[in-house]
Amino acid sequence: MSLLQKKIVAVYRSADYSPNLADADALILQSVANKLQCEGAIVALMAEDEFLSSSINCSLILSMSRSEAALKKMQMLSDNGILVINSAQSIKNCTRLNIHKISEGKGIYLPKYTLLETSATENIEQKNLIYPLWLKLPEAPAVSKDDICFVVTEEDLIEALNNFANRGVKNILAEEHLQGDLVKFYSVAGTKFIHTSYPTLSGYSKFGCEEHNDPIKNIPFSIDLLYEMSQKLALMTGLRIFGGDCIISPQGEPYLIDFNDWPSFSVCREEASLAIVEMIKNDLNKHERETTPTE
């Protein structure tokens, strides 16, 4: 499909939703924008505030935004016929609790979980939890180190639940801690692109949580299975640009412990941006066929 003179708006992620990664997030969007411009597209890069205050007239919106205000406007523009990648609904579908619910029985490996009320600590021993555990926000992305908590005892758990309750958090997702290699993965829906890396070997750390993971043992695993599961989950959520983290079990099974919309792709930016452009052209072509009136 030709992108000549196609008007595209690309919206940066707000720094509030890009903890310690604002520059890297900006670079992948700029890389994609540059490649689209090389194919003749007219691309306007916008900060979220500018997007929210501007009148938008384009064929496509590429959005890294996660704020409620931005998602609301994205949905309105989508309802008016503009293609939005990633769509507002796909991002809303990508909460941790929803990922667990929609993946049940679908052949996607996830850690076991329990949903806990932060105010119900009196009889916590009746939950028969197995420690250690990871505590995560069920309905919102983590934007600070306080949003993810590693607990090893019941006392730790009660203290953490009280801390979340004091912040106004009513429910917490408690996930089992898995043994194995921590692997990051990056992919683009509808393409063959997938890239994996071992973040702890490069010293990467978003919130310092990696210190609780095992030393890397280079456990053999099937990248084809990881690709299949992540593409399936992307299809179920509607995400087109995505990535996440997984634990490779001692048996070589990839368990997804995080699944996100539009990561930074910092270790594979060039290859990823090429795959994203490929996907954009295919999606635009499909969108125009479906929305063009027939005679």
What tens digit of pLDDT does each residue of 274-283 get?
999 999 999 9
- Contacts (Cβ under 8 Å, ≥6 apart) of 18: 25
Note the pLDDT of residue 47: 97
- DSSP designation for 246: E
Res. 39: pLDDT tops 70: yes
Q: What is the spatial distance between Cα 31 and Cα 273, in angstroms, rounded to a whole number?
A: 6
Of 139-148, 157-166, 251-260, the one with minimum mean pLDDT is 139-148
**Strands 148-151 and 181-188, how do they pair?**
unpaired
Note the pLDDT of residue 294: 65
Q: In 10 A of CB 117, how many CB atoms?
A: 12
Res. 140: pLDDT tops 80: yes
Res. 293: pLDDT tops 80: no
Res. 205: pLDDT tops 70: no
What are the boundaries of each domain within the chain?
7-86, 98-108+178-261, 113-176
Q: What percent of the chain has pLDDT over 90?
A: 87
pTM of the shown model:
0.94
Note the pLDDT of residue 250: 97
Mean pLDDT of the chain: 95
Look up residue 125 and give its amino acid.
E
**CATH, domain range 7-86:** 3.40.50
- Contacts (Cβ under 8 Å, ≥6 apart) of 91: 66, 71, 239, 261
Where does residue 105 fall: left (phi above 0), alpha (psi -120 to 50 degrees), or beta otherwise? left
Note the pLDDT of residue 211: 79
pLDDT in tens, 49-85: 999 999 999 999 999 999 999 999 999 999 999 999 9
Note the pLDDT of residue 213: 86
Res. 120: pLDDT tops 70: yes
**CATH, domain range 98-108+178-261:** 3.30.470
Q: Which class in CATH covers the domain with range 113-176? A: alpha beta
* 242-267 mean pLDDT: 97
Note the pLDDT of residue 20: 81
Q: What percent of the chain has pLDDT over 70?
A: 98
Note the pLDDT of residue 292: 80
Note the pLDDT of residue 115: 96
- The model's confidence at residue 295, banded by pLDDT at 50, 70 and 90, is low
Res. 207: pLDDT tops 70: no
